[in-house]
Amino acid sequence: MLSPSPPSPSRRERRKQETLSDIKATALRQLAAAGPAGISIRAIARDLDMTASAVHYYFPGRRALIDALTIDGFASLAAALRSAYGQASEDSPLERWLAVARAHRAWALRRPAEYLLIYGHTGGTAHRVNEQAGRAMGQVVAVLFAVMRDYVRHGDIDTVRIEAGTPPALRAQFAAWRASDSGIDDLPDGALAACMLCYSQLHGAIILELIGHLPAELADHDTLFDLQMRRTADALHTPDRAPPR
């Protein structure tokens, strides 16, 4: 028996969603033009022929609007990463890592202002003070954890060596992190350390490119990025299981 279709949204609800979308789209244009400091409730109201109080009905303040953009950004990035991971499901752990890393970079290059917002400026703090933003960021990180589980499952990461090189104080922090997050309770210290190493290399490479801090002579950014991500993965391998070039 077919379940009944959900009721169509009312005209009022459709109008509300349209207005929300218009406000966010205008804020994103401001973000692209002048960064987070350029986001102005009054300017949005003026552009949309609304009163400032009408915009405040949807977003109580500028912080709430930035949080909403941050949540949307993380959700969109997570969707792109899940798609890349799924399409590479039959590939080796290395190829899955490269697919996810390339998708992460591609999203950032398409939407640089949003990337810099969600990982920096005032938007990057949202996940620490806004539960919904924290969950949205968690969707991104979950894909990176999935890649690391692939490495562990295939024996392609030397967790023992990495753990041996991790200071005891940091290992205690990994244990506390694992105890507080049921989504990573299956990952040993070496895998968690590897996650942080990979994530910092991935994010750092993308940020350097976005803000124009790569040497001008290194014009082939695609090849450079692949080299960085391959070498990052190589550093995790058990010596006798390094993948073929």
Check residue 183 and give its pLDDT: 87
Stretch 115-128: mean pLDDT: 69
pTM: 0.89
Is the Cβ–Cβ distance between 88 and 95 less than 8 Å?
A: yes
Q: What are φ and ψ of residue 85, in 5° steps? A: -65, -45
Q: Which residue has the tokens 């915009």?
A: 55
Regarding whether 190 and 139 lie in a shared domain, the answer is yes
Listed residues 43, 60, 77: the one ending a domain: 60
Report which residue type is found at 67: D
Regarding whether 223 and 112 lie in a shared domain, the answer is yes
Check residue 1 and give its pLDDT: 47
Regarding whether 123 and 214 lie in a shared domain, the answer is yes
Regarding whether 23 and 122 lie in a shared domain, the answer is no
Check residue 59 and give its pLDDT: 96
Question: Does the pLDDT at position 125 exceed 60?
Answer: no
Check residue 49 and give its pLDDT: 96
Average pLDDT in the chain: 91
Q: For residue range 93-105, what is the model confidence (pLDDT) as tens digits?
A: 999 999 999 999 9
Q: For residue range 37-91, what is the model confidence (pLDDT) as tens digits?
A: 999 999 999 999 999 999 999 999 999 999 999 999 999 999 999 999 999 999 9
Regarding whether 79 and 54 lie in a shared domain, the answer is no
* Total count of domains within the chain: 2
Range of the domain at 185: 69-241
Regarding whether 93 and 43 lie in a shared domain, the answer is no
Question: Does the pLDDT at position 243 exceed 80?
Answer: no
Q: Which of 40, 213, 38, 60 is nearest to 121 (CA)?
A: 38
Separation of CA 220 from chain center: 24
Higher pLDDT, 240 or 43: 43
CA distance to 135, 144, 145, 165, 211, per residue, from 138 (Å): 5, 10, 10, 27, 25
Q: Is residue 159 part of a domain?
A: yes
Q: Report how far apart the first and last C-alpha atoms of the chain are (Å, whole number).
A: 54
Q: Which of 80, 83, 110, 84 is nearest to 97 (CA)?
A: 84
Query: Residue 74 sits in a domain of what CATH number?
Result: 1.10.357.10
Q: Which H or E run contains 43? A: helix 41-47
Q: Is residue 228 part of a domain?
A: yes
What's the angle, vertex CA 179, arms to CA 178 and CA 183, rounded to 5?
55
Check residue 25 and give its pLDDT: 97
Regarding whether 148 and 50 lie in a shared domain, the answer is no
Q: Is residue 149 part of a domain?
A: yes
Stretch 164-181: mean pLDDT: 94
Query: Residue 26 sits in a domain of what CATH number?
Result: 1.10.10
Regarding whether 146 and 54 lie in a shared domain, the answer is no
Regarding whether 76 and 55 lie in a shared domain, the answer is no
Check residue 241 and give its pLDDT: 54
Task: Report the 10 Å Cβ neighbour count for 19.
Answer: 16
Regarding whether 164 and 56 lie in a shared domain, the answer is no
Q: Which residue has the tokens 């917002």?
A: 117
Stretch 198-226: mean pLDDT: 96
Question: Does the pLDDT at position 3 exceed 70?
Answer: no
Regarding whether 95 and 55 lie in a shared domain, the answer is no
Q: Is residue 3 part of a domain?
A: no
Regarding whether 73 and 54 lie in a shared domain, the answer is no
Check residue 242 and give its pLDDT: 52
Q: Is residue 4 part of a domain?
A: no
Q: Is residue 173 part of a domain?
A: yes
Q: Which of 9-18, 118-127, 149-158, 161-170 has the lowest mean pLDDT?
A: 118-127
Q: Is residue 26 part of a domain?
A: yes
Listed residues 19, 43, 60: the one ending a domain: 60
Could you tell me the pLDDT band of residue 237, with boundaries at 50, 70 and 90? confident
Q: Is residue 2 part of a domain?
A: no
